Chains A and B, each alone.
Chain A
Amino acid sequence: MQRFLLAACTCVLGFAAAIAPVAAGAKETVKIVFIGPLTGGNAALGLGGRNSADLAVQLHNGDAKAKYAFDMVKLDDQCKPDIGVQVATKAGADNSIVAGVTHYCSAVAIATVDTYHKFGLPVIVWGAVLPAITYGNDYPEIHRVNGTMINQNEQNAKLVTSLGYKTWVIIHDTTDYGKGHDEYFTKFLTQDGGKILADFGVGADQQDFTAILTKVKELNPDVVYFGGLTPIGVRLRSQMDKLGIKSQFEGTSGIVSDSYIQALGPISEGTIAFIDGAPIEKLPGGRMFLEQYAAHKYAEPPEAYGAYAFVAANLIMDAIEKVGPDRKAVIAELAKTKNHPSIVGPVTFDDHGQNVVPIVTAYVVQDAKWVVWQDSDYAKGKRKLAGQK
Chain B
Amino acid sequence: MDAGVLAQYAFNGLMLGVIYAMVAVGFTLFFGVLDVIQFGHGDVVMAGAFVGLATYLGLGALGIAVPAFAVIVVACAAGFTMALAGAFIARYLVLPLRTAPAFNTLLVTLMLGSVLRELVRLFYPNGSNPQPFPRLLPAAAINLGNFTLRLDSTILLVTGLVTIFVVNLIVRRTRLGLAIRAVAQDSETARVVGIDFERVVLVTFAIGSALAGIAGIVYGLYYNEVNFDIGLLLGVIGFSAAVVGGLGSIYGAILGGFLFAALQTIGSVALPVSSAYNNVFAFAIVIMLITWKPTGLIAEPASERV
Taking CB atoms, residues of chain B closer than 8 Å to A203 are 276, 279
Among the listed stretches A96-104, A130-138, A212-220, A270-278, which one makes contact with chain B, having 4 or more residues with CB under 8 Å of it?
A: A212-220
* Contact of B5 with A214 in the complex, beta carbons under 8 Å: yes
Taking CB atoms, residues of chain A closer than 8 Å to B129 are 39-41, 43
B8 at the interface (CB under 8 A from A): yes
Residue of B nearest to A245 (CB): B148
* Contact of A214 with B223 in the complex, beta carbons under 8 Å: no
Q: Report the Cα distance A236→B195, complex, angstroms.
A: 51
Q: Report the Cα distance A78→B279, complex, angstroms.
A: 24
Residue of A nearest to B266 (CB): A211
CB distance from A58 to the nearest CB of B (A): 25
A207 at the interface (CB under 8 A from B): yes
A298 at the interface (CB under 8 A from B): no
Given A40-B129, A211-B268: A243 and B8 interface contact (C-beta under 8 Å) = yes
* Contact of B148 with A243 in the complex, beta carbons under 8 Å: yes
Q: How many residues of B are counted as interface, with CB atoms below 8 angstroms from the partner's CB atoms? A: 33
Query: Pick the contact of A200 from B9, B225, B275, B279 — CB < 8 Å?
Result: B275
Query: Pick the contact of B15 from A200, A210, A244, A262 — CB < 8 Å?
Result: A210
CB distance from B304 to the nearest CB of A (A): 42
Taking CB atoms, residues of chain B closer than 8 Å to A335 are none
Q: How many residues of A are counted as interface, with CB atoms below 8 angstroms from the partner's CB atoms? A: 31
Q: Report the Cα distance A336→B143, complex, angstroms.
A: 62
Query: Pick the contact of A214 from B8, B143, B225 — CB < 8 Å?
Result: B8
Q: Report the Cα distance A214→B147, complex, angstroms.
A: 9
B65 at the interface (CB under 8 A from A): no
Complex interface residues of chain B between 1 and 34 (CB less than 8 A to chain A): 1-2, 5, 8-9, 12-13, 15-16
Query: Pick the contact of B9 from A41, A211, A239 — CB < 8 Å?
Result: A211
B132 at the interface (CB under 8 A from A): yes
The interface bits of chain A over 209-235 (1 if a CB of B lies within 8 angstroms of the residue's CB, else 0) are 011101101100000000000010011
B146 at the interface (CB under 8 A from A): yes
Total A-B pairs in contact (CB under 8 Å)?
Answer: 78
A202 at the interface (CB under 8 A from B): yes
Complex interface residues of chain B between 197 and 255 (CB less than 8 A to chain A): 223-225, 229-230
The interface bits of chain B over 258-273 (1 if a CB of A lies within 8 angstroms of the residue's CB, else 0) are 0000001100110000
A351 at the interface (CB under 8 A from B): no
Q: Report the Cα distance A242→B223, complex, angstroms.
A: 9
* Contact of B223 with A235 in the complex, beta carbons under 8 Å: yes
Query: Pick the contact of B269 from A40, A202, A208, A212 — CB < 8 Å?
Result: A212
Q: Report the Cα distance A40→B12, complex, angstroms.
A: 27
* Contact of A242 with B1 in the complex, beta carbons under 8 Å: no
A201 at the interface (CB under 8 A from B): yes
CB distance from A289 to the nearest CB of B (A): 26
Query: Pick the contact of A218 from B1, B15, B278 — CB < 8 Å?
Result: B1
Q: Which of A235, A243, A262 has the most C-beta atoms of chain B within 10 angstroms of its own C-beta? A: A243
Contacts A211-B275, A234-B130 supplied; 12 other A-B pairs, CB < 8 Å: A40-B129, A43-B129, A203-B276, A205-B229, A210-B15, A211-B264, A212-B268, A214-B269, A235-B223, A243-B8, A243-B148, A262-B132
A-B contact pairs, 22 of them (CB 8 A): A41-B130, A43-B128, A201-B276, A203-B279, A205-B229, A207-B225, A207-B230, A208-B16, A211-B265, A211-B275, A212-B269, A214-B9, A215-B268, A217-B5, A231-B130, A235-B223, A238-B225, A242-B148, A243-B8, A244-B143, A263-B132, A263-B225
Q: Residues of B with Cβ closer than 8 Å to A?
A: 1-2, 5, 8-9, 12-13, 15-16, 128-130, 132, 141, 143, 146, 148, 150, 153, 223-225, 229-230, 264-265, 268-269, 274-276, 278-279
Q: Residues of A with Cβ closer than 8 Å to B?
A: 39-41, 43, 78, 174, 200-203, 205-208, 210-212, 214-215, 217-218, 231, 234-235, 238-239, 242-244, 262-263
